[in-house]
């Protein structure tokens, strides 16, 4: 019998639901951070535990490192790690205050001449990293790194001097996109979904939606998935579906797809859960440890997307 005053145990999902199957997978394979995130999102866990686990990846320069983003190994802070950290903080309602002001100081220190972020800062040199994220001495600004960070800061009503030029960069980058690829579109959507100028964001998103369909950057019928091309440089089979762009029904990207197309996409996502309870990663696997660490992250995000659209997941 539990002692008087003891905290009640978190609710246990019914057996064989997607959440229950994923829970076993997370306890078996995940890092402490993903274990705590799973507890928070699906088992009634607290935000403090997530933030404590995330703090282990923070560095003295107020950035984040230590392979928080699994494809970048080593201790050094990187913009992609910071984007990952902000997504975690946003998901638990903690993306604000002094912790984010300190992050903005780090972002300022690693920005390019036009005030935006490189994908990889040269400090990564000498540490293992994925072959598809090349390290150069004078890296250019990248929408891939800047768009999601700027979007999250606007979403949480963060005001910092760094945001002004970075926001201008994102507008210029998004509105000049022509020939593009799925991850760049995802970054653009992450910016547009929270950009303060809503009419401008809606107009930009409408144009991007036409590009996605014209360039066939989304698999609209998973039963004929091979009919949709893989972007140059992507791994075999690394295709994107509507739910990859419209992660929630409130995303501007949701208007790009019909109800039928969205339903097929979500059905495909749910069916991708594997026998071990986790979801697969679709990008290029270059080291066993990185794939092992990434799958629980992908699993949590798959469940969050399914829950956002309403299918019962447990």
Asked if the model's pLDDT at residue 314 lies above 90, the reply is: no
* pLDDT averaged over every residue in the chain: 94
Asked if the model's pLDDT at residue 145 lies above 80, the reply is: yes
Q: Which residues lie below 8 Å from residue 132, measured CB to CB, with a gap of 6+?
A: 233, 283, 284, 286
Cα dihedral 160, 156, 153, 94 sign: positive
- pLDDT of amino acid 153: 98
With beta carbons less than 8 A apart as the criterion, state whether 3 and 32 touch: no
- pLDDT of amino acid 4: 46
The string of pLDDT tens digits covering residues 12-71 is: 555 689 999 999 999 999 999 999 999 999 999 999 999 999 999 999 999 999 999 999
Q: Is the pTM of this model over 0.85?
A: yes
The domain ranges of the chain are 57-166
Report percent pLDDT > 90 for the chain: 92
**Burial call 97-113: b when 16+ CB within 10 Å, e when fewer:** eebbeebbebbeebbbe
- Confidence label for 2 from pLDDT (cuts 50, 70 and 90): very low
- Confidence label for 11 from pLDDT (cuts 50, 70 and 90): low
- pLDDT of amino acid 311: 72
- pLDDT of amino acid 107: 98
The string of pLDDT tens digits covering residues 268-311 is: 999 999 999 999 999 999 999 999 999 999 999 999 999 999 87
Average pLDDT over residues 223-252: 96
Query: In 3D, which of 183, 280, 269 has the Cα closest to residue 234?
Result: 183
- Confidence label for 1 from pLDDT (cuts 50, 70 and 90): very low
CA–CA separation, 153 and 86 (whole Å): 8
- pLDDT of amino acid 78: 98
């Amino acid at each position: 019998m539990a002692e008087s005053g003891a905290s009640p145990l978190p609710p246990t999902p019914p057996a064989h639901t997607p959440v229950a199957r994923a829970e076993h997978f997370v306890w078996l394979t995940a890092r402490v951070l993903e274990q705590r995130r799973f507890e928070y999102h699906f088992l009634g866990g607290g935000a403090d535990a997530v933030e404590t686990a995330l703090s282990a990846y923070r560095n003295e320069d107020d950035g984040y490192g230590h392979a928080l983003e699994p494809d970048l190994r080593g201790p050094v802070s990187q913009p992609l790690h910071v984007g990952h950290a902000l997504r975690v903080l946003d998901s638990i309602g903690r993306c604000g205050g002094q912790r984010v002001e300190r992050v903005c100081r780090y972002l300022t220190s690693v920005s390019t001449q036009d005030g935006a972020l490189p994908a990889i800062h040269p400090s990564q040199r000498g540490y293992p990293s994925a072959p598809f994220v090349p390290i150069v001495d004078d890296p250019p600004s990248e929408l891939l790194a800047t768009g999601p960070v700027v979007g999250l800061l606007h979403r949480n009503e963060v005001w910092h001097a760094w945001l002004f030029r970075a926001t201008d960069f994102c507008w210029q980058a998004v509105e000049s996109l022509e020939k593009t690829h799925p991850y760049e579109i995802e970054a653009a959507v992450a910016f547009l979904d929270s950009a303060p100028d809503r009419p401008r964001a809606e107009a930009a998103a409408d144009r991007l939606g036409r590009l996605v369909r014209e360039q066939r950057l989304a698999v609209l019928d998973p039963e004929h998935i091979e009919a949709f091309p893989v972007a140059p440089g992507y791994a075999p089979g690394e295709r994107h579906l509507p739910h990859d762009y419209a992660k929630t029904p409130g995303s501007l990207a949701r208007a790009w797809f019909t109800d039928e197309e969205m339903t097929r996409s979500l059905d495909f996502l749910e069916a991708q859960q594997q026998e071990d309870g986790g979801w697969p990663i679709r990008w290029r696997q270059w080291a066993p440890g990185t794939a092992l660490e990434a799958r629980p992250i992908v699993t949590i995000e798959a469940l969050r997307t399914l829950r956002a659209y309403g299918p019962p997941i447990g």
